[in-house]
Amino acid sequence: MSKIKVIQGGVTAPVGFKASGVSCGIKISGKKDVAVIFSEAPATTSAVFTTNKMAAAPVHFSRRNTRNGTCQAIVTNSGNANACTGPKGQEDAMTMIEKTAEALNIHSQDVIVASTGIIGVPLPINEIKKGIVKAVSLLSEDGHTDAAEAIMTTDTYSKEIAVQFEFRGKTVTIGGMAKGSGMIAPKMATMLAFLTTDINICRTCLNTILSEVVDKSFNMITVDGETSTNDMVAILANGKVGNEKLILGDDDCGIFQETLNYVATKLAKMIVRDGEGITKFIEINVKGAKTDEDAKKTAMGIASSNLVKTAFFGEDANWGRVISAVGHSGAEIDSGTIDIYFEDAQIVKDSAAASFDEKEVDEILKKDEIKLVVDLNIGDKQAKVWTCDLSYDYVKINASYRT
């Protein structure tokens, strides 16, 4: 793997990108709520969208605009999802695209639009239009954090990263930002994530790589098992670094893919660490599965179990909940071969209680970050999933989210 250097910045770290984030009044708090990301040159584009059949208006337009594989700008608002808003919502999503294109003097087909927030409430489109004009006027290479803050909803902090690596004699940069705290599940990850890079890459290669990266990062996290109406991951690659174009099948495709996966995984983990009401970050490593799919099914079955998540919140070594989740995950298992570990402490051997030090396990469960290992012992495939506990505060936050 190429050496990855983490640098300061976010989506504006790659050559030729600017961003901004402003407040237009969607949020009563007055916090930033409109963001624009702009590439100085048309960029090879790929995106993955929510699997929710009630997908919001912005998702439909962004699916259309990314179909030809080239875009130049992303506009997004927080505080209002523009979901389940009927024909007016469709009109408002298109207005956001057209206003952004007009302000940037680019074609409307080259704009991705995204929204996040309350479902079923019409957008204050006149205020958003003013916000877009203001955001475009403030576009800057230093605007990455403002943009990252402007896409937050219940997030407690902005999430961004930038890295560099050497590729074909050039220093390539990848930047990223994401939002997500609740409604996070492994079906297109239920959040917004925007990635930028100055690598020169063909569309087919970028589509293939992004799809595989999403499956290993954003699709391997869960906070509450809910899949939202608005989620997307989009990447713009403007080729500004000037490398020889990367095409599918090139021997060094893996270098870019591994680096992009590093960025996406870091952002995905940030989302889980900011899960609503979180007190513990939990890594679940399932080993010894017959197939990759069985490993993922098992890990996700455990991570999605509310009983497992509440046990971690209560710092209770209730391994029965874990093994029960394994059993109903849908994966192929042998009911007599399962081993379970909390960190290095084995608590289950061959699907039955092992002798372990209660005090040692109690100390492990008090940690902010915990590793759970489940070995099925019937194969050599494995999968890692990242999740969090389920606390009283999660209920408080979501009981009053609309009000």
CA-based nearest residue to 301, from 271, 273, 323: 323
Which residues have C-beta within 8 Å of that of residue 56, sequence separation ≥ 6? 81, 82, 83, 84, 85, 89, 115, 119, 229, 230
Q: How far apart, in whole angstroms, are the C-alpha atoms of residue 105 and residue 195?
A: 22
C-alpha to C-alpha distance for 19 and 4, rounded to whole angstroms: 24
Structure tokens at 82: 């523009």
CB 231 within 8 A of CB 192: yes
Residue 312 tokens, joined: 């971690």
Alpha helix stretches (DSSP H) within 118-194: 125-137, 144-150
Instruction: Please pick, among 45, 85, 153, 190, the residue that the annotation labels catalytic.
Output: 190
Please identify which residue in the block is written with the tokens 């997030």: 155
Q: Contact, 59 vs 89, CB < 8 A?
A: no
Measure the CA–CA gap between 249 and 209, rounded to whole angstroms: 11
DSSP class per residue in 29-96: T----EEEEEEEEEEEEEEEE---TT--HHHHHHHHHHTTSEEEEEEEEEEE---S-HHHHHHHHHHH
Rounded Cα gap, residues 311 and 2, in angstroms:
40
Give yes or no for a contact between 153 and 115, defined as CB atoms under 8 angstroms apart. no
**Residue indicated by tokens 């890459």:** 201
Question: What is the gyration radius of the CA atoms in the chain, in angstroms?
Answer: 22
Contact 309, 225 (CB under 8 A): no
Cβ neighbours of residue 276 closer than 8 Å, sequence gap 6 or more: 154, 181, 182, 223, 224, 393, 394, 397, 398
Residue indicated by tokens 């576009």 = 139
The answer to whether 222 is a known catalytic residue is no
Catalytic residues: 190
